[in-house]
Amino acid sequence: MASSAAPSPSEVLSLFRSLLRTAREFSDYNIREYMRRRTIDAFRENKLLEKASSVVAAYSDGRNQLLVAKRQSVVYSMYAPGVKSIMEVRGSSGD
């Protein structure tokens, strides 16, 4: 496989945004929050990467994760339970 050039900053931000948007689409509260947290943590951690090859690897890993997440959000929505998670109920005590 030919080595690809490092992604531009705007491509990285675009991937970041796509991952966060896909996270929002999950009907399951837990997955939604986890995906959001994990995306933010991973991008922060990788922000300091210097080697071009590491950047390329992280970027393509992110892209693969995005594809998995997109498929999974569809599958999860097919089997979503009717009841919302307690964390999503506004006005519950301790809020």
Partner 1 sequence: MAMKAAVLRHIRLSAAPTRTLGLASPASCRWGGVLGSVFRSLSSHGDDHLSKDEVVDRVLSVVKSFPKVDPSSVTPDVHFQKDLGLDSLDNVEIVMALEEEFKLEIPDLEADKIDSTRLAIEYIYNHPMAG
Residue linked to tokens 């890993």: 61
| Cβ–Cβ under 8 Å, residues 39 and 20 | yes
Residues in the chain: 95
- Residue span 40-79 as binding mask against partner 1, x where in contact by CB under 8 A, dash where not: x--xx--x--------------------------------
| Cβ–Cβ under 8 Å, residues 19 and 35 | yes
Q: According to CB under 8 A, which residues from 26 to 45 bind partner 1?
A: 40, 43-44
Residues making contact with partner 1 (CB under 8 A): 9-10, 13-14, 16-17, 20-21, 24, 40, 43-44, 47
